[in-house]
Amino acid sequence: MKTRIIQVDEKNIDKEVIREAGGIIRSGGLVAFPTETVYGLGGDALNPASSRKIYEAKGRPSDNPLIVHIARWEALAAIVKRVPEEAVKLARDYWPGPLTMILEKSDLVPKETTGGLDTVAVRMPSHKTALDFIEAAGGYVAAPSANRSGRPSPTVARYVIQDLNGRIEMILDGGDVELGLESTIVDLTAQMPTILRPGYVTRQMLEQTLGGVEEDVTILRADSGQAPKAPGMKYRHYAPKGELTIITGPERKVVDYINIQLDQWRAGNKKTGVIATDATMGAYRADVCKNAGSRLDESAMARQLYRILREFDDEGVEIIYSESFEGSGVGQAVMNRLLKAAGHRVTELK
Ligand code: TXA
Ligand code: MG
């Protein structure tokens, strides 16, 4: 299949292009499109054949449910059994935006889209191109991140092309995304609203809107012994090809320890890489050193992470060390993704 790649400008949207892209979805095809979080791989959420195509193009297990993207609040009622009070409040505060809600699905949504579940994930993105595209597509676009399964989510069209060229009808190239990490997912079908995937909308923000909020225990730990409630979180995700290890502890010790490891790997002719920060960029003896930015700017780190992981792949880095990035806000989500990328390989220095 020949994939058409078309540049789109959020500030000057080409209606004709959007109409065409929408038409592809309506007739059962697939279009990758920019959102504020990461690029999505869109298909008609109400068409079972489209969802099957998405799984095939991504190489993704079909028990991993898709997020249904809507462009207007009024669109929600038709795809869920009921709209709970919590959803109204969350939408008021965070839609359109990087928040996905899990609700009980109506019969309109095929099980192919929800990976066989009776619940459906719904999000209204804030990216203008995405909103216009969803409307043109009929109002319900199922879209996982537009990467091949197991690879980091794409934050620029170049990576969508790398993964999906020749497998889908069209890619809308909207340049760099704004946020760089996937949406926060909150399950509203549990006793207590539960965060299944951390993101820009933090636990503190959700608590402000809702009062009590819980967190799926599998989010930051490998040893909980439980299956994650978001099926997608169980797969080894966001993984670079090189072997990634996170080193935690006092900064000086971390730098010294990583340098000793690097010397050994390089003596064995392995290509090495490090994810550093502004403060430590000059300190490492790695072949490739990537700067995640200032520790004080958690959103800049969020924006860099997936690009950095992809660049290590492109540059053939085999052994990667990363500093640890805890934080109070989106830093928690950064750490969640980094831990998954590392397959929870962490060395703690005291
Ligand atoms: O920011 C985002 O959310 C991006 C953009 C494109 O909107 N999309 C995205 O989709 O990250 P995806 O498919 O890569 O991740 C969706 C996650 C998966 O972990 C999946 O298991 C979970 O959402 N999920 C979807 N429906 C669910 C449901 N009904 N119950 C529990 N988890 C669900
Ligand atoms: Mg994904």
Q: What is the pLDDT of residues 47-105, one digit of tens each?
A: 999 999 999 999 988 788 999 999 999 999 999 999 999 999 999 999 999 999 999 99
Question: What ligand 1 atom has the least distance to the C-alpha of 125?
Answer: 7
CB of 331 closer than 8 Å to CB of 301: yes
Q: Which ligand is nearest to the CA of 37?
A: 1
Question: What ligand 1 atom has the least distance to the C-alpha of 229?
Answer: 31
Tell me what pLDDT residue 234 has: 62
Residues with CB under 5 A from ligand 2 (ion): 145
Q: Is the pTM of this model over 0.85?
A: yes
Q: When comparing pLDDT for 220 and 13, which is higher?
A: 13
CA distance 176 to 235: 26
What residue owns the CA closest to ligand 1's atom 32? 230
Q: Is the pLDDT of residue 238 over 80?
A: no
CA of 229 to the centre of ligand 2 (A): 15
The C-alpha torsion from 323 through 328 and 331 to 333, rounded to 10°, is 120
CA of 101 to the centre of ligand 1 (A): 10
For residue 286, the one-letter residue type is: A
Q: What is the mean pLDDT of residues 263-291?
A: 97
